[in-house]
Amino acid sequence: MSYTFGTTASRGVVSKLLLAGYEAVFVGGAVRDLLLGKEASDIDIATSATPAEVKEVFVHTVDVGIQHGTVLVLFEGEPIEVTTYRTEGTYSDHRRPDEVNFVRTLEEDLRRRDFTMNAMAITLDGSLIDPYGGKKDIANRLIRAVGNAEERFREDALRMFRAIRFSAVLGFAIEQSTCHAIDLLANEIRHIAAERLKAEWDKLFLGREPLQAFQYIQETGIGLHLPAYPAALMTACMQGPFLSPLDGWAAFLIAGNLEPAELGRAYKLSNVEKAYLQSVHAAIHMREKGLYTNVDYYRFGERVLLTAESIFNCLHPLEATIEMDEIKGKIAALPIRSKKELAMTGNDLLIWSGEKGGRWVGEWLNKIEQAVILGDCLNEREEIKEWFLDEFERER
């Protein structure tokens, strides 16, 4: 069977390398995706040419990872990564290979890859090169390590978690000997940097079957060695699918009964991610006290409340659900959506009160904001003035 593959520019890059006397093929996840019937993205090219030889063939190149054999070729307005056939040593620091050796044959290059479904190549004329049975494993919906699974995982322990992530994303099962190797070497995941694990979690949360991944985490024992991973994580609220990685992290947080700061430190989450988790955490806490108030709808907003309600319903299935349309309707009905929408400013408070500026101005703006949200005062300048003067005089 012949496959039509690659963009015009990427095919042009392969063609020029072939004309220069080198081997060049399409490799990696894009080939896998093609066989899965998915649109190929991030098209990568592997070649027998060394980085220096690649740079001789093309006029415009960037050394994006030349020490590992990768050159970015700018061809017909498109950036295309070209990597020299290579083998890798072990990962002593559990981040980067100790050494990269350039080789001249494709088979040697494919042998060092993680899983059979990622160890395939397609030639310019559309022929599939599949020395390890990746096409068959895709047809059988199996994730299988290339060669000896223990060797592949000792080279880079992150591959164990990548296998589990692929089980969620693709809905594939992990082949028995590959799964056994994860069980055997699970403790090695402790050496993997939090940032690398976090990137895999982000993709796992977007998978079609995250529950299957959580089952593998439990069965292999790798969860015992993952940062902040609680034994009771596999609850209903973790079944997904999740609309975004943030929703997955929120479920992780609540299912594990963790504090946002704790999870943030464990996986080096960004300030934006930590703030979102803090909001979901607080919203669920408010929800467990009863229905949301207008202040809650105003404070948290639609996205946080929809996530919080979804998790709350999983944790408390017998409680009445606040439907999505109701949450959206409540927010749409709020008199203001932010303090900037108030029909007055801090300068008005100075004029109305005859007082000098100070901390009190911000404090009263907060009080007015809440009064408008709760309906104690209409968001109209004269209405706010009357309410303020009355309350201000009462507290003097």
Q: Which of 334, 366, 381 is the last residue of a domain?
A: 334
Is residue 92 located within the same domain as residue 182? no
pLDDT of residue 98: 61
pLDDT of residue 239: 67
Domain range for 325 is 227-334
Is residue 54 located within the same domain as residue 117? yes
Is residue 157 located within the same domain as residue 271? no
Is residue 353 located within the same domain as residue 286? no
Is residue 233 located within the same domain as residue 302? yes
Indicate if the pLDDT at residue 81 is higher than 70: yes
Indicate if the pLDDT at residue 90 is higher than 70: no
Compute the average pLDDT of residues 158-170.
97
Of residues 211, 200, 143, the one with CA closest to residue 174: 143
Is residue 156 located within the same domain as residue 106? no
Q: Which of 200, 225, 250 is the last residue of a domain?
A: 225
pLDDT of residue 393: 87
Residue with the larger pLDDT of the pair 82 and 91:
82
Q: What is the pLDDT of residues 280-306, one digit of tens each?
A: 999 999 999 999 999 999 999 999 999
For the chain, the average pLDDT equals: 91
Q: Which of 287, 310, 334 is the last residue of a domain?
A: 334
Is residue 154 located within the same domain as residue 237? no
Is residue 156 located within the same domain as residue 128? no
Q: What is the pLDDT of residues 223-243, one digit of tens each?
A: 999 999 876 665 656 666 788
Compute CA distances 131 → 26, 32, 79, 106, 203, whole Å: 15, 14, 29, 10, 28
Compute the average pLDDT of residues 48-66.
92
Q: What is the pLDDT of residues 171-210, one digit of tens each?
A: 999 999 999 999 999 999 999 999 999 999 999 999 999 8
pLDDT of residue 234: 59
Is residue 90 located within the same domain as residue 48? yes
Domain count, the chain: 4
Indicate if the pLDDT at residue 99 is higher than 80: no
